[in-house]
Amino acid sequence: MGKTVEQRVIEIVEQQLGLGGNEPVTAEQHILNDLGGDSLDFIEIVMAIEEEFEIEISDDAAEGAQTVQEAIDLVKRLVD
């Protein structure tokens, strides 16, 4: 069985920020404030999500996805 949208987005965030392992990323965490990412990391996460799911995310939509859960919800809306 394939990975869920949630698992795939969390893996992308972990990979882009060099996280995971002992302290896994959770959906409630803020990508910049809680996980220590910066604006460049955020752009790279958005680009990786676009590539992984073969979608295009507008700048306005990306700005609304500040937590991991918001990014997951955005992907779900765009792939359905």
Q: Which sequence positions are flagged as catalytic?
A: 38
Which tokens in the block code for residue 41?
Answer: 């990391």
Element (H, E) at 12: helix 5-17
d(CA 66, CA 69): 8
| 40-66 pLDDT tens trace | 999 999 999 999 999 999 999 999 999
Q: For the whole model, what pTM was predicted?
A: 0.92
Mean residue pLDDT across the chain:
95
Q: What's the CATH fold of domain 5-79?
A: 1.10.1200
Integer Cα distance of 9 and 68 in angstroms: 8
- The domain limits of the chain are 5-79
